[in-house]
Structure 1
Amino acid sequence: MLILGFTKKIPDRQLMFNSTLKVNSKTGVYLILRGERGRQKCELPILMSSFVDVAAIGYAAVIPLTVYAAIHSLLIFPYLKQQQELRLQKRKEEQKKRLDARREAAILEVNLMTSAAEQSIESEQRVQGLVIVKALYGRLQTMQQSDTAEDVVINVTVPLQHQVKNSSLKIAGIISKAEMPGFYDPCYGEEKSLYIRYKFHNALHHVTIADNEPIHIPLQAHLMTSGVTS
């Protein structure tokens, strides 16, 4: 007697598919297909030939693979794809909740910073020091910062002015500026940068900084052409 077996498990569905091929000189060629899901079991015995036949053995070897391929294509693959989409959707919803929470926290932080930022502006203006005119963070368009869509850019003028000390703003490089006080991520998963337009010694300057790069202003290299203001 010759016995051959084929088994395939589908963990996500607690499904097991197996087949057994029995070749016996007395009973012939038998193919047994089995399916199990939890406590449910199904068995289908198939007599391929009443005697030992090479062709019947060949067909019996191919049938389980063909049946499994059909089951996988019609049932398993769509199910696994659906589960993957559900997991992805759940992750997106969880991420959105985290981003919304961070956004609310950032708005509160900006409200708390506003008074101190206004005092910083008055103090810096008296010595012609560093005043942040405009600061935008998010998915910026290289030469069209002012035209960038609001849903992918946030105004961070107040948080940056709040951190100005002695006419200087220095912040070390970090993984993402979205973690800075008063900041949040307006376009999760997309490349972000920070655009700053500022006045120093009554001259306009500007600079665009990558998300993970340090901030160091003022610098002479940032001076805008005809940037002197009254």
Structure 2
Amino acid sequence: MDEEKPDGELYALLHLSPEASDEEIRRAYRQWAQVYHPDKHQTPQMQGIATESFQKIREAYEVLSDERKRKIYDLYGTEGLNSGMELGPKVKSVDEFLKEFEKLKKHRQEHKKLDQVHQSGSLVVNIALAENGPVLRGMTSATELQARISRKSSLVLGGNISIGQELGGGTLSALFRHQISSDADVEILAMAGLQSLVSIQTSRRLSSHATGGIGLSLSLINRTVNLTNSWTRQLSDTTEGSIQLVIGPETGVSVALQRHGERDLGSTELKVGPSGFGIMAQYHHEFSGHSQGRLTGRLGSTAVEVEIGGERRISSQSALAMFCTIGIHGISYKFRFSRGGQKFSVPILLTPALNPLIATGALLLPTSIYVLLKSYVIKPYFLRRKEVKRRERRSSSAAQIREARAKASKAQLLLKNVADRKRDRQLKNGGLVIKQAIYGSAHDLESNFDVSLEEEDNVPPPVLDVTTTLNFLVENEQLQLHDGVKKSGLIGFCDPCPGERKKLKVIYTFRNQQFEVVVGDFDELTIPDAAHLQAKNGSYG
């Protein structure tokens, strides 16, 4: 079950803050009941509109005035209320209900995990550039299947095969993972093929900031044993350190440090042993939600190289990546395409020797090509694609949107007389007057062009005029929309563009000066505010 933020629609209907007191809830209900009670309206049409709105107000009040229902709604939204009714007998207390609801959620999540089987794979094709053209140096294919076999146990089956110019081979593996307790787990691994071994490893959380582990592996080929001991420590909120000690044929010590920020990640590792040493440093930066870059340096007894590259997400499931490696073993490119759990990689060896001229070209050429492609191909393509998807989504929801807009218009019709009187009174006294209020698609409101309120290509506009509602909500020369309450739930509002990010744009006058403000869907709005004053003002009388 997806976790979503409750939209606070019931609070919006009564124009209340989620922190409103019981007295404020009663007062708001009485106020709105006077506006929407059918007996307050003369014509059958207006009475019908009022009856529908009054029913919503009464339902909101019934939930918010009941301590138990309100607490459930605050935590889980409307779904929590519906689940409560499905649980059967009336819950004796809020705490008992919450325990039942959490148990139900946990039960659903566990079943969802048990039903999931994850499969991933990779294919690597090694190519070298020669005088006579590209030469295939080898291929490696690997696949892995992970399944949860119980609430605390999972099984991972894997295999890989590698083919070179003269030799080939493969390995099959099976990994059993079991959670002993909330603080400890154990892993048992068996491999057969080119690398045949069995191993067992267990780890335990030693404290809230430290974890320790120990492992034992036996090679079935040369009958050697490796003993591994590792410790991990959380040094700060953003920094983690680890130490690993290996005793056996691969004896050595490794020390690692990792630090992460809001959009970047840095790590370094030092390995020392009888067979050699190595230092690795890596920096990863996220440029946007779609692209990221990586810089890696390695220095040791077997390698001296620098790798630089990046990855670009081209859809929700697919990504393209390119890396350039320069070192003592030559200069190479690596291209990678990922989709879901599958990866396809093509490393291309440009030259087996380190050549400064080729190295410079290898670094500059991809960057130049990427900048050109991003500016003239990739970005325009994605903008067009987003626009097409946006139009398709709006077209498929056209009937639903028209119905919601019609209900919003009817609700505004009930408010219009009072809203107009308030507006005229504020205008006469130089008070707060809402000149224009538009709610809807953030994409359209953030553009520099005027937003159309008319249908185009038989699709309703992605924005809604809510000027009447906001003028109605003005009290004592002030207007406040509460934080954490989705604005589409306000009386006279609706969602004109389902699935899209929404904002509210308000142009208003106060003391004969014009102001303008744009706020997010869940953001608080309090006007008038000097920060909203426009640079160039006209006078409005």
Contact 1:129–1:200 (CA under 8 A) maintained in structure 2: yes
Q: Once the 2 structures are TM-superposed, how far is the Cα of residue 148 of structure 1 from its aligned partner?
A: 4.7
Unaligned runs of at least 5 residues, structure 2 = 1-393, 455-460
Alignment of 1:24-63 (within 5 A): none
Q: Once the 2 structures are TM-superposed, how far is the Cα of residue 141 of structure 1 from its aligned partner?
A: 3.2
Give the Cα separation in 2 of the matches to 1:145 and 1:123.
Answer: 32
Alignment of 1:165-180 (within 5 A): 165-180=475-490
Q: Once the 2 structures are TM-superposed, how far is the Cα of residue 147 of structure 1 from its aligned partner?
A: 3.2
What is aligned with 1:184? 494
Q: 1:176 to 1:145 in 2, by over 3 A?
A: farther
Give the Cα separation in 1 of the matches to 2:438 and 2:449.
Answer: 8
Give the Cα separation in 1 of the matches to 2:436 and 2:484.
Answer: 21
What is aligned with 1:199? 509
What is aligned with 1:48? none
Q: Once the 2 structures are TM-superposed, how far is the Cα of residue 122 of structure 1 from its aligned partner?
A: 1.1
Contact 1:137–1:193 (CA under 8 A) maintained in structure 2: yes
- For 1:221, what is the secondary structure of its paired residue? helix
Q: Once the 2 structures are TM-superposed, how far is the Cα of residue 215 of structure 1 from its aligned partner?
A: 1.4
TM-score by length of 1: 0.55
Q: 1:145 to 1:133 in 2, by over 3 A?
A: farther
Give the Cα separation in 1 of the matches to 2:501 and 2:402.
Answer: 19
Unaligned runs of at least 5 residues, structure 1 = 1-91
Q: 1:195 to 1:215 in 2, by over 3 A?
A: same
1:147 counterpart = 2:457: no
Higher gyration radius (CA): 1
- For 1:194, what is the secondary structure of its paired residue? strand
Give the Cα separation in 1 of the matches to 2:446 and 2:420.
Answer: 29
* Greater per-residue helix proportion: 1
* Greater per-residue strand proportion: 2
Contact 1:177–1:183 (CA under 8 A) maintained in structure 2: yes
Q: 1:168 to 1:106 in 2, by over 3 A?
A: same
Contact 2:445–2:505 (CA under 8 A) maintained in structure 1: no
What is aligned with 2:411? 109
What is aligned with 1:124? 426
**Residue type of the alignment partner of 2:409:** I
Deviations 1:22-41 (A, max 9, x none): xxxxxxxxxxxxxxxxxxxx
Contact 2:401–2:497 (CA under 8 A) maintained in structure 1: no
**Residue type of the alignment partner of 2:429:** V
Corresponding residue pairs, total: 139
Give the Cα separation in 1 of the matches to 2:516 and 2:468.
Answer: 16
Deviations 1:146-203 (A, max 9, x none): 2356411111100110100011001202442111110011110001100000000000
Give the Cα separation in 1 of the matches to 2:449 and 2:489.
Answer: 22
Contact 1:113–1:162 (CA under 8 A) maintained in structure 2: yes
CA RMSD of aligned residues (A): 2.5
What is aligned with 2:388? none
Alignment of 1:7-26 (within 5 A): none
Give the Cα separation in 2 of the matches to 1:187 and 1:160.
Answer: 20
**Residue type of the alignment partner of 1:109:** A
Contact 1:141–1:148 (CA under 8 A) maintained in structure 2: no
Q: 1:143 to 1:224 in 2, by over 3 A?
A: farther
Give the Cα separation in 1 of the matches to 2:453 and 2:537.
Answer: 26
Give the Cα separation in 2 of the matches to 1:159 and 1:194.
Answer: 13
- For 1:154, what is the secondary structure of its paired residue? strand
Give the Cα separation in 2 of the matches to 1:203 and 1:216.
Answer: 17
Q: Once the 2 structures are TM-superposed, how far is the Cα of residue 104 of structure 1 from its aligned partner?
A: 2.4
Give the Cα separation in 1 of the matches to 2:534 and 2:398.
Answer: 38
- For 1:170, what is the secondary structure of its paired residue? strand
- For 1:205, what is the secondary structure of its paired residue? strand
Relative contact order: is structure 1 or structure 2 higher (C-alpha 8 Å, sep ≥ 6)? 1
**Residue type of the alignment partner of 1:189:** G
**Residue type of the alignment partner of 1:147:** V
- For 2:501, what is the secondary structure of its paired residue? coil
Using the aligned pairs only, state the percent identity. 28
What is aligned with 2:435? 133
Deviations 1:43-65 (A, max 9, x none): xxxxxxxxxxxxxxxxxxxxxxx
Q: 1:148 to 1:210 in 2, by over 3 A?
A: farther
What is aligned with 1:216? 526
